Homo-oligomer: A and B are copies of this chain.
């Protein structure tokens, strides 16, 4: 930890290395195979073949399909999602809900969520909502730091997060922007 890398050069996993390259290829293969929705339960050899990687590698690094899916879901739902900051709680929540809805609308993402829940069980399900819950908490806390009253995290989850996930995963109804805005309106009746 001296010149180039800022932290954690302890292992051989540096961005750009071979390890990271394989990881990215495998992740992409999982997303593609899950999106293809053939019905078959996503086997390790299939993932390896699609990624241009030997099955041995996948077995060693991830072990089982459940952990692999949980890993993919975690990295999928962690990055590239900024906490909105519009200045008001209503604006933040509407933006947040809209972004989440747009995300869950994607059939590939939805298939990933379903597969992860099925194979990863408790751990997989947690990976799918993962960062989203903390982002919601951050929005509420920032509003509270402004000195404003906010609904509890539990109530906000029930009113916004839960309907979004439920409608996306359990039904085939579309997540329209009007409906998404309605969720926030019912939570903040002002």
Footprint of B on A, CB under 8 Å? Answer: 37, 39, 41, 64-66, 111, 114-119, 121-122, 125-126, 128-129, 154-155, 157-159, 161-163, 165-167, 169-172, 179, 183, 186
Contacts and interface: CB of A to CB of B under 8 A. Distances in A.
Copies in the complex: 2
A169 B125 contact: yes
Nearest to A127: B170
- The SS class assigned to the A binding surface is helix
A29 B70 CA distance: 27
A119 B117 contact: no
A2 to B, nearest CB: 43
Contacts of A119: 41, 118
Given A162-B163, A166-B166, A172 B64 contact: no
